[in-house]
Structure formats: C-alpha cells, structure tokens
Amino acid sequence: MSNKSPRVPVAFFRILEYESTFMDTAVAMILEECGLKIPIGAKVLVKPNLVSSKNALACTHPNVTLSLCRYLKDCGAQVTVADSPGYGTAAQVSKAIGMTSGLKELGLKPKSLGRPVQLKLSFGETIGISRDALESDMIINVPKLKAHGQFVVTGAVKNLFGTVVGFRKAYAHTRFGETPGLMEKMIIEVAKSMPLAFNLMDAVYPMHETGPINGKPYSMNLLAGSPNPYALDTALYMLLGLSPKKILIWQESVRQKIFGYHPDHIEYVIEPPDDFDTTDFKIPEKLSPMEFEPVRFVRGRIKSLLSRFM
C-alpha cells in the first residue's frame, strides 16, 4: 500500500482506571484527535454494550458512556443512550450495572432500541433492525472488548449487532448459524446500514478467557477510538496477536475488502500499540456452535417477554 494512500485514525489512550475525571479527559482527547465534529442539535445515539444484567464486566463500563454523554451534551447534541439486549430491557441492565443514576444527573434515561424495520440481506434473508437507530443523525458505538465463545473476540463491528431488535438476535443465530459465514455477513451488513459516526472502545478491563457473559477481567488499561469500526477492530486484533484466519468477522471484512481491514489502513494517534502488552490475554480454547438450540431459543424468548411485565 502506498504511503500516499489515505489512512484512518485509531486512537490508543492509556488509562489505568475508570475514574470519571480521567475518563472525561481521555474521551475528549480521543474524539478530538480523531477529528470527530458534533453539529449543534444533532440527534446522537450512544450505543453501549448492555448485554446482560448478570455481570457488569460483560457491559461497557458506565463511566465510559457517561463521559461520552457529558462531552456530547457540552457540544450541544441531543443525546439518547440505548441498546437492545437479547433478554430483558436496557433500563434493567443499566440499573444493574450502576449507570442509571449517572444518566439521570445528565437528564437522560436508558432506552431499549425498538420499532423494527426489515433490512434485506445480500443472501436473500431479512433481519429486523431498529428504526430508532436508523433515524439518528449519528451513532457513537461504545463496545466492550471481550473474548467470545462463538466469535473468539468481539469489538466494534459486533457491537452494532445490538441494533437488531430484541429476540431477533437469538433468532438470527437459529436461522443463520448453521451455514458457515452467514452470521458474519449479516453482522457486517447490519453495521453498514447504520449512520455510524464514531466508535469508542472500552478495553480498560476487557473480558478474557471466555465470554460474552462469564469471562474474567483483564487489565489492558486501554481506551481506544476510531471513526472506522473495522480499523478499530483490526488494531485490537493485531494487538492481541490474532489473524483473520482466527477471527471470522475480520476474515469476512478482508474478503469484502472493506477499508480498515488491513493494518496499513491505520494511522495510530496519541499512543502507539507497542506501549501495550497483551501477551497473557486468553481467548476461548473451544468455541460453541453459532446456532442456538431451538429449545434454548424458545426458553430465552419466553424470559424476554416476561421481563417486560416484571
């Protein structure tokens, strides 16, 4: 790749803890060094990972989301914080991980992404994505870096799968999981459909060994950001010593030649990756099948419906 070819900024910022004052500084520096501009009055959807109320480690840390919201409100944006957990509601998860009170101080409430609209997929199927997300002026994606029992490691691109509404995520596993490659294609097509403006990744204490719910904390001390989710994920995969052969979402982005898939597409700003040591980060030794068993899916669907009335 020529030195004259354009490169996308990826910001690595070392931060030892989630303490709010330091987090405010880190978030502002990452967004500004990457050149993000927030128009006054813009409707900005902040999309953290609110996957489960059972384990706060599985979710984006509240202080990352809250620092981002403070910055956006200072810019004059109209901010919404929302996700679509597979089970339960965003409000339930937010309360469980201790984010709701901080949002209230900012005049915000956690919301569940709803109003599904059908997205036509390239392989002849459809998936129900949130009209709430599509109608935002811009989305700032706030993933949590995690080991994953089906995808090995997940980051920015996979977090946008959370714009698929409710139980449809589990249903997607049931429909597409049996055919190799379809889950990765579907996730990338969902990501491409979104008005995505930026990605801010919580890798301060990511989850390793297994995931996405029950792994263990790993001290990486990294907050990372980029306007390009593929470049951000590539940077983290490289930091972990992985390759596209190991990570199927990365492999699919390489196959499609999506800009950001190659390390040469990246310009590191703030700190170089060599400043971070991840040699003892552990990935799952054995992966689970992509498809969910029908009985498990039905049980999860019933629990999801019941949670709305509890």
The pLDDT score that the predictor gives to residue 94 is: 98
The pLDDT score that the predictor gives to residue 178 is: 84
The pLDDT score that the predictor gives to residue 21 is: 87
Contact present, 273 and 236 (Cβ < 8 Å)? no
The pLDDT score that the predictor gives to residue 293 is: 52
**Assigned domain for 202 exists:** yes
- Cα angle, residue 61 at apex, residues 57 and 65 outer, rounded to 5°: 155
Chain position carrying tokens 């981002």: 68
Instruction: Work out the burial of residue 54: count CB atoms within 10 Å of its CB; fewer than 13 is exposed, 13-18 middle, 19 or more buried.
Output: middle
The pLDDT score that the predictor gives to residue 6 is: 86
**Assigned domain for 3 exists:** no
> What are the φ and ψ backbone dihedral angles of 73, each rounded to 5 degrees?
-65, -35
Contact present, 11 and 273 (Cβ < 8 Å)? no
What are the C-alpha distances in Å from 228 to residues 19, 60, 181, 234? 26, 19, 22, 10
- Cα angle, residue 225 at apex, residues 199 and 112 outer, rounded to 5°: 30
Containing domain of residue 231, as a range? 8-307
**Assigned domain for 302 exists:** yes
The pLDDT score that the predictor gives to residue 1 is: 45
The pLDDT score that the predictor gives to residue 303 is: 42
pLDDT in tens, 15-71: 999 998 899 999 999 999 999 999 999 999 999 999 999 999 999 999 999 999 999
Tokens representing 306 are 């019941």
CATH number of the domain to which 61 belongs: 3.40.50.11440
**Assigned domain for 1 exists:** no
The pLDDT score that the predictor gives to residue 304 is: 47
Reading the chain (310 residues) residue by residue, the pLDDT tens digits are: 444 568 999 999 999 999 988 999 999 999 999 999 999 999 999 999 999 999 999 999 999 999 999 999 999 999 999 999 877 899 999 999 999 999 999 999 999 999 999 999 999 999 999 999 999 999 999 999 999 999 999 999 999 999 999 888 888 888 888 888 899 999 999 999 999 999 999 999 999 999 899 999 999 999 999 999 999 999 999 999 999 999 999 999 999 999 999 999 999 999 999 999 999 999 998 877 655 555 444 444 434 443 443 3
Number of structural domains found in the chain: 1
What are the C-alpha distances in Å from 179 to residues 154, 175, 254? 20, 9, 19
The pLDDT score that the predictor gives to residue 310 is: 35
**Assigned domain for 2 exists:** no
**Assigned domain for 151 exists:** yes
The pLDDT score that the predictor gives to residue 287 is: 77
DSSP letter (8 states) at residue 178: T
**Assigned domain for 83 exists:** yes
